[in-house]
Amino acid sequence: MGSLPIPDSQFAHLDQFPMDEAFMIMRDFALDTHPGKVSLGAGVYRDNDAKPWVLPSVRKAEQLVVQDPNIDHEYQPMSGHPPFVPLAQELTFGPLMASLSNRIVTCQTISGTGANHFAAVFLSQVLSAKRVWISNPTWGNHHLLWDISAPQVKQQLYSYYNAKTCSLDFDGMIQTLDTEAQPGDIILLHACAHNPTGIDPTPEQWKIIADVCERKRLFPFFDSAYQGFASGDLDQDAYAIRLFAERGFELAVAQSFSKNFGLYGQRVGALHIVVSRSEVAAPTQSHLTKLVRGEFSTAPVHGARIVTQILSDSSLRKQWYADLQVMSSRLKDMRRALYDELRRLGTPGSWEHIVDQIGMFSYTGLNAKQVARLRDEQHIYMMASGRASIAGLNTSNVAAVAAAIDAIVRAEQQA
């Protein structure tokens, strides 16, 4: 019996999408065999030996979780691990919980990415929003998440970065929103440690942004991926969210525990919706729960148990505060070390922006051609935009990275 001819595939019309740049850099770095290679691409914390760092508080908490004889592997409620949810709320809203507790609706998500996805789906459906305003630039995944989750919502860009000064284009941001934003639009705001620029508005600028949102009747949606990790101060990093909440805004917050707990692979997150009246909280919760049921039914629990163990134990919570200081302080030290080395070398240009920025990332001001030469000639990897992960720097490589940047910048000037 002869074999049937193989028909044309019904998937033959598909184009191959390019690999995500961040993961492509991680792959290329792993394949590079050069002993002096440096990764400034991956958005993950590394210690001074360029190794993954399990927070001491997390290690202790995990031991307690796995040794608990009462732990089981049953389904969790669709809203999330019950003791985790109020702790996640308290971390975000702090002293406002007394007045907001009956107006915050929360569901546990698959980390911050899942929280962003849920927010895009939920807000686009419930608010019937036609447009979402996103900073230019932003975390690359924001655009993909809205493309997939709410393709009917048009993505608009508000100015954020001034390439000439490597600083916040605050006037451009306000002007864009004032002249072009429409009532009912969603605005996506980075709560702290803006990714990729590392540039945040000042408290006074946040007040003006809130004024614009109130005047234009925009719906604020905060992406909070770095609370405590950015400055080492949980309250400082939650300032913008709490400012808007205190002023009476209805708002949404996508919360991630990947960076500040180092739980990258556990995918722990939450989506919070603040509503204006307590009586609408229950129906809002029901809509979120319906989304959860339709996508994954219940969130994974191990990472949430670790977070719960830390936040509910005063000793572990104190240790976690110290761990946040270790990470945030090392990042600040590496910013200063890179800046000092570039100054010592007399590298052409102004580099103050490196120490003025905050958090994991620095928008170095290097262009795509310079970044490519750093990779090809010096085995130093970063995003084509010039975004560098400061966590990839350490006392052993910062001088070499500065020297490489100096050489590339000088070579381009002489060309």
Looking at residue 23, its pLDDT comes to 85
pLDDT of res. 325? 95
Residue range 21-53+329-409 in CATH 3.30.565.10 = no
Listed residue (306, 312, 294, 292) closest to 76, CA to CA: 292
Query: 239: Cβ–Cβ under 8 A, 6 or more apart, which residues?
Result: 192, 203, 206
Mean of pLDDT values over 126-153: 95
Q: Is the pLDDT of residue 2 over 70?
A: no
Residue range 297-311, pLDDT digits in tens: 999 999 999 999 999
Query: In the prediction, which pLDDT does 1 show?
Result: 57
Q: Give the list of residues 6+ apart from residue 290 with CB closer than 8 angstroms, or none.
A: none
Indicate which residue of 169, 200, 259, 351 is catalytic.
Answer: 259
pLDDT digit string, tens, across residues 178-204: 999 999 999 999 999 999 999 999 999
Indicate the pLDDT class of residue 101, thresholds 50, 70 and 90.
confident
Average pLDDT over residues 207-213: 98
Asked if 259 is an active-site residue, the reply is: yes
Alpha-carbon gap, residue 253 to 234, rounded angstroms: 15
139 is catalytic: yes
Instruction: Report, at the CATH architecture level, how domain 75-312 is classified.
Output: 3-Layer(aba) Sandwich (3.40)
Q: Under a CB-based contact definition with an 8 Å cutoff, are residues 82 and 75 in contact?
A: no
Provide the residue ranges of all domains of the chain, joining segments of one domain with +.
21-53+329-409, 75-312
> What is the average pLDDT across 143-165?
95
169, 223, 237, 406: which one is catalytic?
Answer: 223
Residue 404's pLDDT band, with cuts at 50, 70 and 90, is very high
Which residue of the set 139, 146, 320, 351 is catalytic?
139
| Gap between the Cα atoms of 271 and 55, Å rounded | 24
% of the chain with per-residue pLDDT over 90: 87
Whether 18 shows a pLDDT value over 90: the answer reads no
For residues 144-166, average pLDDT = 95
Higher model confidence: residue 259 or residue 43?
Answer: 259
